[in-house]
């Protein structure tokens, strides 16, 4: 089984690490010569829309991707010569926030009020429709909080237009949430679905910092989250792993966004479940039986942003290390750790062991998470 | 951290899979162009004793090996230009069955009666000393039962001499054992030692077929096994993972052999313990804190000999797949699976699920193991 991946970042790297024991070989397309998955297979330094990609990947049994801003016209050409998983339909929906919201709305799933914005007058009308505060986002190419602007008052509108006006936009009502969570599911060729536990997530400045599973704060929402991800994954005739991110409000769950790929909020499944999201994505696209998605114990995933901490952190019992091998840079996800414990009580008791290796703001965010979850 | 490995077989592959998330890069030396670890790093197609190895590996921070029949003179040269782990002393002891037995004997550890054989008359004298039945083995380059001959009567001696007489030999008394077991330990630069649970092993025709941990049949021997591996690993000032294989007799443990490397009997630690033997070997040689070696639940490791079974086997809940990516060939270890379960009772209840994917003789051997262990 030869698998081509568009993108050779950390998600591709973790897919390859999971796929190697299954007997898979990997071919990566990434324009960055130092892309971090490169050493785990054959790396072609090509732009994703380069026509040479076709000649390289047509010899793969399957093609998948590790980020959603793939050129969908290239995927359509690839789908003529090999099997592309998941479907281009799911990818296109997730590439455009307006299409994504429309899809969710059509399925009757809970989303925040939204409106299309393609001109300065439309911005005003949209904000009137969705109310203030609102978040103005580029419809395409946003990630980790990039391409977004918060509008609290009418006075913020001009600055927002100056910053984002050159792009197709969407206005969304700012959701007043108590916390955030995410759920990941995997579906195979025969329509079998396995769902991972609902995960408590904490973002700061638009970047995921911590993920915790399970969280008692999420217990009331598990059935609804499972129903939503099931409806979505079936409606898209989806094959592979998909994640839905939610806001948890006093009125219940609101879908924030969907990711048609393996996702940061489920990295903890490498150690916290029998079959990780990465392995199940490979199993699903390769048409092999899916693995168990139940969680065991308590898993806390900690993202490392900008640089890796000292290796002394490995002395923490039950801590699993994931250095992506990326050059350190402010704001860049360079790695993560998953701390695997027997119970939430054990986590709170041992929290000081972890705090020694985190920055002050990170410790504060972790305390916020523990407070939300407990 | 750049790690050079002499050998690029499945042990090197699993070391690389464990070391990648720790941020390590790998350089493999293996004369086989299709060596199975090759796709996980930089592969140099060189014989292990080729002087070009020195030029390649001097740029590595550490050098280790995935098999014990490495040319120790090459390792001595490498030790002049980089750090070789574990020590050449430990390697040399394990390369020669006579040296190994002498070392164990000097340490006061329990070994079967043995005698050196370098001539036809010495063979007769050795068999008189150790008694019949005896096993005649080549002192060097034996593995998986190769280079061994069983002598039950005086009449077998001539055939044995014809087969093995060209080599330096050792005669060992055939040990009458109830079952076999193995223990693996890891030691770091500062002398910290972590020990994995004692593992029940079952060999057929000299090849390991199953490993089970824990096994109640081993409970009475845990303390002694831990004491033996501790004494050995300390006496060798050893850094990295080491395995001791035992015969369990009515009189207690008898050391069969030692392996100065990661070992097949501890493959189950990938899923069955928090930090696998592969990860701990890397942590130890890189001078990073060691990880937890406790086992959780029950782990049954099944070796795949000759060819991989159908991927349908992945439908077994809790089964973890390890395809080494090797060309199928009779008698060759091409992969393994580890079945991770909650308890021994659960294992015996679900055994039929597994049997569907095993050959008749394998099912019988598994039943033998379960009977021994229960």
- Asked, for residue B58, whether it belongs to a domain, the answer is yes
Token pair of B273, please? 């313990």
B143: CATH: 3.30.1490.20
pLDDT recorded at residue A145: 66
The C-alpha atoms of residue B70 and residue B338 are separated, in whole angstroms, by 29
pLDDT recorded at residue B70: 86
The last residue of one of the domains, among A173, A206, A224, is: A173
Using a CB-CB distance cutoff of 8 angstroms, which residues of chain A are in contact with residue B314?
A: 283, 288-289, 291
In angstroms, the Cα distances linking A173 to A126, A132, A170 are 10, 7, 10
Residue B219 to chain A, least CA–CA distance (Å): 25
Residue B17 is nearest to which of A17, A292, A317, comparing CB atoms?
A17
Interface subset of A 296-315, CB within 8 angstroms of B: 308, 311-312, 314-315
What is the rounded average pLDDT for all residues in chain B? Answer: 95
Give the rounded percent of residues in chain B with a pLDDT score beyond 70.
Answer: 99
A134 and A277 inside one domain: no
A22 to chain B, any CB pair closer than 8 A? The answer is yes
Residue A318 to chain B, least CA–CA distance (Å): 6
Question: What single string gives the DSSP state of each residue in A256-313?
Answer: EEEESS--GGGTTHHHHBSS-HHHHHHHHHHT-PPPP--B-SEEEEEEEESS---GGG
Residue B323 is nearest to which of A21, A283, A291, comparing CB atoms?
A21
Largest distance between two CA atoms of chain B? 58
A267 to chain B, any CB pair closer than 8 A? The answer is no
B345: CATH: 3.30.470.20
B183 and B166 inside one domain: no
B194 and B335 inside one domain: yes
Using a CB-CB distance cutoff of 8 angstroms, which residues of chain B are in contact with residue A291?
A: 314
Residue B274 to chain A, least CA–CA distance (Å): 6
Q: Which residues contact B333 (CB under 8 A, 6 or more apart)?
A: B10, B144, B207, B264, B303, B304, B305, B324, B326
pLDDT recorded at residue A263: 98
- Asked, for residue A77, whether it belongs to a domain, the answer is yes
Token pair of A6, please? 């568009």
Using a CB-CB distance cutoff of 8 angstroms, which residues of chain A are in contact with residue B289?
A: 311-312, 314-315
Residue B288 is nearest to which of A20, A311, A320, comparing CB atoms?
A311
Residue B271 to chain A, least CA–CA distance (Å): 9
Residue B204 has pLDDT above 70, yes or no: yes
Contacts 24+ apart (CB under 8 A), A155-164: A157/A123, A157/A124, A157/A127, A160/A123, A160/A136, A161/A120, A161/A123, A164/A136, A164/A137, A164/A138
Query: Which domain does B259 fall in, by range?
Result: 179-373
Residue B275 has pLDDT above 80, yes or no: yes
The C-alpha atoms of residue B29 and residue A68 are separated, in whole angstroms, by 38
Using a CB-CB distance cutoff of 8 angstroms, which residues of chain B are in contact with residue A13?
A: 20
Using a CB-CB distance cutoff of 8 angstroms, which residues of chain A are in contact with residue B353?
A: none
- Asked, for residue B96, whether it belongs to a domain, the answer is no
Do the Cβ atoms of B321 and A22 come within 8 Å?
yes
The last residue of one of the domains, among B38, B69, B84, is: B84
pLDDT recorded at residue A63: 97
Residue B224 to chain A, least CA–CA distance (Å): 26
Do the Cβ atoms of B292 and A318 come within 8 Å?
yes
B159 and B185 inside one domain: no
A216 and A186 inside one domain: yes
**pLDDT band, very low/low/confident/very high, at B97 (cuts 50, 70, 90):** very high
Residue A315 to chain B, least CA–CA distance (Å): 5
A219 and A263 inside one domain: yes
Count of alpha carbons within 13 angstroms of residue B218, beta-carbon side? 26
pLDDT tens digits along A174-197: 999 999 999 999 999 999 999 999
B44 to chain A, any CB pair closer than 8 A? The answer is no
Beta strands in chain B (DSSP E): 2-6, 25-29, 42-44, 62-65, 83-84, 114-117, 134-138, 148-151, 169-173, 179-187, 193-195, 199-204, 207-213, 240-249, 252-259, 298-305, 319-323, 333-341
A303 and A158 inside one domain: no
Do the Cβ atoms of B39 and A25 come within 8 Å?
yes
The last residue of one of the domains, among B37, B64, B84, is: B84
Number of neighbours of residue B370 by Cβ within 10 angstroms: 19
B208 and B356 inside one domain: yes
A327 to chain B, any CB pair closer than 8 A? The answer is no
Low-confidence ranges of chain A (pLDDT < 70): 143-145
Residue B19 to chain A, least CA–CA distance (Å): 10
Using a CB-CB distance cutoff of 8 angstroms, which residues of chain A are in contact with residue B25?
A: 39, 325
Mean of pLDDT values over B173-196: 97
pLDDT recorded at residue B53: 96
A80 and A217 inside one domain: no
- Asked, for residue B102, whether it belongs to a domain, the answer is no
B155 and B202 inside one domain: no
0.90 surpassed by pTM: yes
pLDDT recorded at residue B325: 95
Q: How many domains does chain A have?
A: 3
For B14, the closest chain A residue by CA position comes to A21
- Asked, for residue B108, whether it belongs to a domain, the answer is no
- Asked, for residue B101, whether it belongs to a domain, the answer is no
B363 and B305 inside one domain: yes
- Asked, for residue A133, whether it belongs to a domain, the answer is yes
A17 to chain B, any CB pair closer than 8 A? The answer is yes
Residue B312 to chain A, least CA–CA distance (Å): 7
Residue A315 is nearest to which of B289, B314, B321, comparing CB atoms?
B289
- Asked, for residue A98, whether it belongs to a domain, the answer is no
A186 and A305 inside one domain: yes
Residue B145 has pLDDT above 70, yes or no: no
Using a CB-CB distance cutoff of 8 angstroms, which residues of chain A are in contact with residue B299?
A: none
**Dihedral angle over CA of B277, B282, A335, A280, nearest 10:** -40
For B18, the closest chain A residue by CA position comes to A17
Using a CB-CB distance cutoff of 8 angstroms, which residues of chain B are in contact with residue A23?
A: 308, 321, 323, 325, 335
Using a CB-CB distance cutoff of 8 angstroms, which residues of chain A are in contact with residue B291?
A: 314
Do the Cβ atoms of B292 and A40 come within 8 Å?
no
B20 to chain A, any CB pair closer than 8 A? The answer is yes
Question: What single string gives the DSSP state of each residue in B44-113?
Answer: E---TT-THHHHHHTTSSEEEESSS---HHHHHHHHHHSEESS-HHHHHHHH-HHHHHHHHHHTT--B--
Do the Cβ atoms of B25 and A39 come within 8 Å?
yes
**Dihedral angle over CA of B278, B281, B284, B287, nearest 10:** -70
């Amino acid at each position: 089984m030869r698998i081509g991946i568009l993108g050779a970042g950390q998600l591709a790297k973790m897919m390859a690490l999971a796929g190697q024991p299954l007997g898979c070989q990997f071919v990566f397309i990434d324009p960055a010569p130092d892309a971090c998955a490169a050493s785990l297979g054959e790396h072609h330094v090509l732009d994703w829309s380069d026509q040479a990609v076709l000649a390289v990947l047509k010899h793969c049994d399957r093609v998948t991707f590790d980020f959603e801003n793939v050129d969908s016209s290239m995927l359509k050409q690839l789908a003529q010569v090999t099997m592309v998983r998941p479907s281009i339909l799911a990818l296109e929906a997730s590439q455009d926030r307006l299409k994504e919201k429309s899809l969710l709305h059509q399925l009757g799933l809970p989303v925040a009020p939204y409106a299309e914005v393609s001109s300065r007058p439309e911005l005003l009308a949209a904000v009137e429709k969705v109310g203030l505060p609102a978040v103005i986002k580029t419809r395409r190419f946003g990630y980790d909080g990039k391409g977004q602007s918060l509008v609290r008052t009418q006075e913020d509108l001009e600055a927002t237009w100056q910053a984002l006006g050159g792009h197709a936009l969407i206005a969304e009502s700012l959701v007043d949430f108590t916390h955030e969570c995410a759920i990941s599911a995997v579906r195979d060729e025969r329509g079998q679905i396995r769902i991972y536990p609902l995960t408590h997530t904490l973002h700061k400045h638009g970047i995921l910092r911590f993920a915790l599973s399970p969280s008692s704060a999420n217990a009331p929402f598990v059935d609804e989250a499972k129903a939503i991800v099931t409806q979505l994954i079936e409606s898209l005739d989806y094959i592979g792993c998909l994640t839905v991110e939610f806001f948890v409000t006093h009125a219940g769950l609101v879908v924030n966004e969907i990711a048609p790929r393996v996702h940061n909020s489920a990295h903890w499944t490498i150690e916290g479940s029998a079959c990780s999201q990465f392995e199940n994505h490979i199993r699903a696209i390769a048409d092999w039986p899916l693995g168990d998605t139940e969680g065991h114990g308590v898993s806390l995933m900690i993202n490392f942003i900008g640089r890796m901490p000292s290796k002394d952190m490995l002395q923490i019992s039950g801590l699993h290390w994931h250095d992506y091998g990326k050059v350190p840079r402010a704001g860049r996800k360079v790695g993560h750790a998953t701390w695997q414990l027997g119970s939430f009580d054990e986590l709170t008791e041992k929290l000081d062991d972890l705090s020694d290796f985190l920055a002050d703001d990170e410790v504060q965010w972790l305390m916020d998470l523990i407070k939300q979850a407990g």
